[in-house]
Structure 1
Amino acid sequence: MKKSLRAAGLAAAAWTACIASAQAADDTDWPRHAVRLIVPYAPGGIADQMARITAEALQAAFNQPFVVENKPGASGSLATSYVAKSKPDGYTLLVGLAAPQTLNQFIYKLDYHGLNDFAPVALLNTNPLILAVHPTLPVKTVGDVIAYARKYPGKLNFGGAGGLTQFAGEVFKYDTKTDMVHVPYRGGAPAVAAAVAGDVQMTFANYSDVQPWIESGRLRAIAITSPKRYPRNPDLPTIAESGVPGFGMDGWTGLLAPAGTPPAIVRKISAVVRKALNEPAMKDKLEAMGSPPGDMSPEEFRTFMAGEIKRWQGFVAESGIKVE
């Protein structure tokens, strides 16, 4: 009997060692086939742009296809939930954004946690939002927007794609005690296109999505959502300095994997992404887009996300804001 138990124990130990060895080999050999980068919004916006830039860098480094897939819906939460439930083997990655990872869980009923269900890989970029209006709207400053909204309650509408492009407007409404209507779109680019066409009067849009239309005169920039002015556009005032003290938010994009993804794979991806995005030419390109690159280790990115979650949880609880 003792010999049988001993034999069984040795067999179990051998099996465990075999699994560990196979896992190590998997981590070392990754990637052996195509990897998917899931984007929570429609093509054309900042998340999609960053996904394609990142995919190109990873494909060059690992000599395997890195395929971008857009899965818009539910204010970015559809794709986020999909990746949270995916196999943690490094072959399904998420191009996550600030709201689906840190904010949505406090205003919607979700089936994932923005941090606990993921392995943070790298912060790809940060990006301010710009409050922009159609040129036919008779406003040129934040004060003008507030006055117009108060004069015509419920008549001023703004396009957004869920997440911060919507929530910036909701916070603006709360801080200024105005009544404006959000019109939802499936991505930042479609929301901006609606503002350009005059289907909505204004938008809170990612800098990179809206800047070309501002330069062409098809939209008018009013202010930036960041706490400080953006160095590449120093003449554009912040909302905070324009009569809404304390207002300040930046968007960001990050690369994440499902929780449980082997740390060795996470580190491999992170090292390539951080190096590629901070090459001088790429860094200059991203800064010109209004999307300066991030440069955080997986551990630093996790700490950053935890801080963002705590900040938004506190604000939603304090303000009682509800998003329809």
Structure 2
Amino acid sequence: MKRRDIVLASAGATLGALPAWAQTPSFPKPGSTIKYVVPFPPGGLTDVMARTVAQKLTEAWKTSVIVENKAGGNAQIGAEQVAKSAPDGSSLLAITLTHAANVSLFPNAPYSLTKDLRPVALLAGSPMLVVVPTGSPVKDFKDLMAIAKSKQLNAGSSGNGTPPHLTMALFNDLNKTQMTHIPYKGGAPSMTDLIGGQLDVIFSNFPESIAHVKGGKLRALAICGLSRHPMVPDVPTAMESGMPGLYVENWTAAMIQAKTPDAIVDRYSREMIKIMFSADVEERARQQGFRVSPKGAGDFAVFLKSEIERWNRIIRTAKITAT
């Protein structure tokens, strides 16, 4: 059995045995509109992935699937909108690692990720890339591990509680060091200062740094993935470099209002996995830096729980706050 066939079979099995009538719901209704809410500004990887999936859903179901950007509140505004939407499958939410961390960063949020929303599918992940200026004395990842123990280093990020910040905190936890965290309002300004030498290192989102690595302005020390990345095949993984625990992917996934019927969730889950395994989408995703390894609703639920628990521990250990 092929890998995609196994995953597709898993997608159906994860929701349990549904009665025959529930396996073919009249969803979506002809002429209806589905909102795919992205709680980030347009143009980012999550937005690009959502638009790709929305287009494919539109083509497959002959209905209108529209991406709606609802940025703000550390990705909580859009999430709250879907959490409080009608449980009829008409609203989807794009989520990332940020939402798993938000469970700990915002304990008094106006919605509950785990109670007001339910998993639909995990789509893909983009590994974090550890980068330094090309003129840095840090030549490889083992250098970084050693120098961080003997000298106070400054590590930039796109903001408090963001994936680059969390990855840095995980590095500190594993390496028993204390880098100084310098938060920025976004990834671009932090990259500018890293290139200019005002920062020592960034545990960056892959798409924010890869062009600078290719252009010779930054040196990539390690990739925080399961394997080397085809866009930078000479860059070893953190595991190869002596830190197997530094595995971090900024993944993207879909959730839906918690009371949405199983049959609708199952239909979304199966179709999204099929979309991710289609040749054109899989290739496009890889070119954007993603590792394509989708999971159905049940497997994604297990993964999401583990991510929430993992980052809760790091956030508490590093005493990370959202501000």
TM-score range, shorter chain: 0.7 to 0.9
2:11 alignment counterpart: none
Residues 73 and 200 from structure 1, CA distance in 2 versus in 1: closer, same or farther, beyond 3 angstroms?
A: farther
| Cα offset, 1:79, TM superposition | 2.6
State the shift of 1:168 in Å: 0.7
Q: Deviations over 1:216-249 (max 9, x none)?
A: 2233212112254335544212234435453222
What is the deviation of 1:68? Answer: 2.1
On the 8 A contact 2:25/2:264 being kept in 1, the answer is: no
- Identify if the C-alpha distance between structure 1 residues 106 and 115 changes in structure 2 by more than 3 Å, giving closer, same or farther: same
Residues 71-82 of structure 1 mapped to structure 2, 5 A cutoff: 71-82=70-81
Question: Aligned residue for 2:15?
Answer: none
Q: Do the aligned residues in 1 keep the contact of 2:122 with 2:300 (CA within 8 Å)?
A: yes
Residue pair 2:155, 2:181 contacting (<8 A) in 1 also: yes
1:182-238 Cα deviation digits (max 9, x unpaired) = 32334x566556655767554322323432332122332121122543355442122
Aligned twin of 1:127: 126
Distance in 1, matches of 2:48 and 2:198, equals 24
Structure 1 pair 212/178, CA: closer, same or farther in 2 (3 Å)? same
- Structure-2 separation of matches of 1:192 and 1:117: 36
Name whichever of 26-35 and 280-289 sits farther off.
Answer: 26-35
Distance 2:25 2:242 in 1: 56
2:37 match: secondary structure: strand
The 1-side partners of 2:224 and 2:215 are apart by: 21
Q: In the alignment, which residue of structure 1 is the partner of 2:185? A: 185
State how 1:86-165 maps to structure 2 within 5 Å: 86-100=85-99, 102-111=100-109, 112-146=111-145, 149=148, 153=152, 156-161=154-159, 162-165=161-164
Whether the aligned pair in 1 keeps the contact of 2:129 and 2:205 (CA below 8 Å) is: yes
Q: In the aligned structure 1, how far is the partner of 2:250 from the partner of 2:142?
A: 24
- 1:322 pairs, out of 308, 320, 323, with 320
Which structure's CA Rg is the greater one?
1
Structure with greater helix percent: 1
Whether the 8 Å CA contact 2:85–2:257 is kept in 1: the answer is yes
Between 299-308 and 90-99, report the one with greater CA deviation.
Answer: 299-308
What is the rounded CA distance, in whole Å, between the counterparts of 2:30 and 2:296 in structure 1? 20
Any conservation in 2 of the 1:39–1:72 contact (CA below 8 Å)? yes
Distance 1:288-1:257 versus aligned 2 partners, 3 A rule: same
Equivalent AA in structure 2 for residue 104 of structure 1:
N
**Equivalent position of 2:29 in the other structure:** 30
Q: For the residues of structure 2 that align with 1:208 and 1:229, how far apart are their CA atoms?
A: 15
TM-score w.r.t. the length of structure 2 is 0.78
Cross-structure match for 2:219: 220
Q: Which moved more, 1:171-180 or 1:142-151?
A: 142-151
CA–CA separation in structure 1 for the residues paired with 2:239 and 2:183: 24
Which runs of no fewer than 5 residues in structure 2 stay unpaired? 1-21
- Measured after TM superposition, the shift of residue 123 of structure 1 is 1.0
% identity of equivalent residues? 29
User: Does the CA-based 8 Å contact 1:126-1:250 persist in structure 2?
Assistant: yes
Aligned-residue CA RMSD in angstroms?
A: 3.2
Please state how far the C-alpha of 1:105 moved relative to its aligned partner: 1.4
> Where in structure 2 are the equivalents of 1:288-303 lying within 5 Å?
288-303=287-302
Secondary structure of the corresponding residue to residue 223 of structure 1: strand
Question: In the alignment, is the contact (CA less than 8 A) between 1:150 and 1:179 conserved in 2?
Answer: no
**Corresponding residue for 1:10?**
none
Letter in 2 for 1:159: S
In structure 2, the partner of 1:265 is 264
CA distance in 1, matches of 2:223, 2:63: 39
CA distance in 1 between partners of 2:217 and 2:55 (Å): 31
What are the residue-to-residue correspondences of 1:191-270 with 2, within 5 Å?
192=191, 195=194, 202-230=201-229, 233-244=232-243, 246-270=245-269
Q: Which has the higher contact order (CA 8 A, sep 6+)?
A: 2
Question: Any idea what SS the aligned residue of 2:93 has?
Answer: strand
Any conservation in 1 of the 2:169–2:314 contact (CA below 8 Å)?
Answer: no
Q: Which runs of 4+ in 1 moved over 6 A?
A: 23-26
Whether the 8 Å contact between 1:117 and 1:258 is mirrored in structure 2 is: yes
